[in-house]
Amino acid sequence: MTLQTFTMAERRDGGGDDDGGEGTGTGLATRTRARTKQPTPYRVLMLNDDYTPMEFVVLCLQRFFRMNMEEATRVMLHVHQKGVGVCGIFSYEVAETKVGQVTDFARQNQHPLQCTLEKA
Ligand code: TYC
């Protein structure tokens, strides 16, 4: 969310007085309103492989995607059977961070587990 300052003349709603309580006293009153902009969503995907233990994948889903045991097991089995599965949908920055966390944790434990992201 960004905060944008604008003059009364720029207000779509016609604004109020020109130097109200929050005015500048110069006759060019400004107000600040919140502008919300949804970030482009990205899917984080987990890929299957033949070597990473199922328990390790479940641990990753719990640790980095805040899934409970039941959810994490369901997603892990989906990936195991179909080859790929969705861990969650995030802003680019958050998605990229999670991919890095999973990849680093997998490498630290000598597992080939792969995680990637794509535009949702
Ligand atoms: N296929 C792996 C096995 O049989 C388990 C696995 C599941 C690996 C999901 C990666 O993203 C994955 N041990």
Centre of ligand 1 from the C-alpha of residue 27, in Å = 67
pLDDT class for 31, splitting at 50, 70, 90?
low
Burial class of residue 76 in the structure, from the number of CB atoms within 10 Å of its CB (0-12 exposed, 13-18 middle, 19+ buried): buried
Q: Tens of pLDDT along 61-101?
A: 999 999 999 999 999 999 999 999 999 999 999 999 999 99
What SS3 class is residue 6?
strand
Instruction: Supply the pTM of this predicted model.
Output: 0.76
Q: Provide the CATH number for the domain around residue 84.
A: 3.30.1390.10
**Does residue 18 form part of some domain?**
no
Centre of ligand 1 from the C-alpha of residue 53, in Å = 6
* Ramachandran assignment for 37, one of left (phi > 0), alpha (psi -120 to 50 degrees), beta (any other): beta
Which range is least confidently modeled, 26-30, 36-40, 77-81, 107-111?
Answer: 26-30
**Does residue 112 form part of some domain?**
yes
**Does residue 32 form part of some domain?**
no
Total domains in the chain come to 1
**Does residue 26 form part of some domain?**
no
Structure tokens at 114: 């792969």
Residue of 44, 67, 74, 76 to test ligand 1 pocket, by largest number of atoms within 8 Å of CB: 76
**Does residue 9 form part of some domain?**
no
**Does residue 76 form part of some domain?**
yes
Pick the residue whose CA is nearest to atom 10 on ligand 1: 48
Q: Give the CA angle between residues 89, 3, 40 to the nearest 5°.
A: 20
Host domain of residue 59? 52-119
**Does residue 36 form part of some domain?**
no
